[in-house]
Amino acid sequence: MTELVAGPAYLVRGASLYGEERADLLIEGGRFTAVGSGLDADGATVVEADGLVALPGLVDVHTHLREPGREDAETVETGTRAAALGGYTAVHAMANSNPVADTAGVVEQVHSLGRRAGWVDVRPVGAVTVGLAGEQLAELGAMADSAARVRMFSDDGICVHDPVLMRRALEYVKAFDGVVAQHAQEPRLTAGAQMNEGAVSAVLGLPGWPAVAEESIIARDVLLAEHVGSRLHVCHVSTAGSVEIVRWAKSRGVNVTAEVTPHHLWLTDELVRSYDPVYKVNPPLRTQTDVEALRAALADGTIDVVGTDHAPHPSEHKECEWAQAAMGMTGLETALSVVQHAMVETGLLDWRGVARAMSELPARIGRLADQGRPLAAGEPANLVLVDPAARWTVDPATQATKGRNSPFAGRELPGRVVATFFHGHPTVLDGALNTPHPGSAGER
């Protein structure tokens, strides 16, 4: 993207880069101008980072910002504030808005709302099919060529289940280096599904969402991607069996990437015994065996990235019977802490691995040239500073997202985002929102 105007300079002093060696980072004009020890502040504002881990600004491949259409649930403004507080500098806004983001007009609107808000880069995801209806390809090329420069396409929330349509979408996006991000859910196997199908659903009497409904679609899609030589991204992988299929596909050289949500790295369907719809999500919470397989897969790279699937809902859509409740959980403000809990504190992933799964690879999948870059001189100054020793208790009422549907409410989590720099500007300082990027939209 383009350069931004010269803002005030910042010197981040004594941060532990990727949790490894300590260094100072000098930020000027939106870029790191020097990285090393004992840098001279020389008029720059000093941010003391002793004991903090520095990572490239996080990139979410899977965010629901709800605007346009469901501004009661979230807006680009509130959702991107939440993102900044969570350490993000870019998010991919899913297409299931109202109207659906299936035209150049809608993706440009979302893109421009993001630029106006100024908290993170908002990268719209384009719908694969018109109206998410699964019948006719949306104008993928027009969205790719638009000002929003869409590269990721998804009907997320709904599976592109027609095999011919999925094949065509995979083929078509090759023209502009796009990727189809599939919500893998065989619809006939999941009609009326309410939770993971297994021992718990049997007892609770809730219609089951079987693992095979996800795995069969992933198996089909990796074969299609191989056949047409295109790029497939699998959203929110949730089962041990899916991991095996993705591992097999990668071993064959299929160009597939996979994502896991923070909640699937920790929570299980045992929580559904409460019938509290805060635990209702799609794909559903699975079993401990699945959680362990997902953690191992993220650690060994079979699963490439963590995507939040941040899905805010108004409270009335959760304060009701389970069957009538909306599916989805908030996640932007808890993702990094949950990953620290599930992956770092278990020894499965180091901070360099976190940077890879939450910044570098997400940026590469979305083809964001100036995100997920190394913490090095000359690179765009997208940065998050984390205090890994901090502990905090999740209180949804105090979060920036409009959604109060956090499954981690009341839990104590490790790690706190102390500061987020977005193209050289601190959107978060001292753990609190600072100001949006002052540059006008055209300057970023």
Q: Interface residues with other proteins (CB under 8 A)?
A: 194, 197-208, 210, 274-276, 316-317, 319-324
Provide the minimum distance between the beta carbon of 192 and other proteins in the complex, in angstroms, as a whole number. Answer: 11
Q: Is-cis flag, bond preceding 124, omega within 30?
A: no
CB 53: neighbour CB atoms within 10 A? 24
What b/e sequence results for 339-354 when a residue is b if at least 16 CB atoms lie within 10 Å of its CB, and e otherwise?
bbbbbbeeebbebebb
Provide the minimum distance between the beta carbon of 132 and other proteins in the complex, in angstroms, as a whole number. Answer: 19
C-alpha to C-alpha distance for 387 and 384, rounded to whole angstroms: 10
C-alpha to C-alpha distance for 47 and 12, rounded to whole angstroms: 5
* CB distance 400 to 433 below 8 Å: yes
In the bound state with other proteins, the residue whose beta carbon lies nearer, of 29 and 314, is 314
Provide the minimum distance between the beta carbon of 49 and other proteins in the complex, in angstroms, as a whole number. Answer: 43
Instruction: List strand residue ranges (DSSP E) for 164-274, in order.
Output: 179-182, 195-196, 208-209, 232-234, 256-260
In the bound state with other proteins, the residue whose beta carbon lies nearer, of 313 and 356, is 313
In the bound state with other proteins, the residue whose beta carbon lies nearer, of 164 and 191, is 191
Provide the minimum distance between the beta carbon of 151 and other proteins in the complex, in angstroms, as a whole number. Answer: 36
> Which amino acid is it at 97?
S
β partners of residue 387: 416
Provide the minimum distance between the beta carbon of 196 and other proteins in the complex, in angstroms, as a whole number. Answer: 10
In the bound state with other proteins, the residue whose beta carbon lies nearer, of 114 and 198, is 198
In the bound state with other proteins, the residue whose beta carbon lies nearer, of 37 and 274, is 274
Q: Find the radius of gyration of the CA atoms of the chain.
A: 21
Among candidates 290, 289, 284, which has minimal Cα distance to 271? 284
C-alpha to C-alpha distance for 281 and 194, rounded to whole angstroms: 9
Provide the minimum distance between the beta carbon of 210 and other proteins in the complex, in angstroms, as a whole number. Answer: 7
> Which tokens hold the place of 415?
């790690």
In the bound state with other proteins, the residue whose beta carbon lies nearer, of 30 and 208, is 208
Residues with catalytic roles: 309
β partners of residue 58: 88
* Coil/strand/helix, residue 86: coil
C-alpha to C-alpha distance for 201 and 198, rounded to whole angstroms: 5
In the bound state with other proteins, the residue whose beta carbon lies nearer, of 206 and 400, is 206
Q: Residue written as tokens 């619809």?
A: 187
Q: What DSSP assignment string belongs to 410-425? A: T-EEEEEEEEEEETTE
* CB distance 431 to 417 below 8 Å: yes
Pairing mode, strands 383-393 and 412-422:
antiparallel
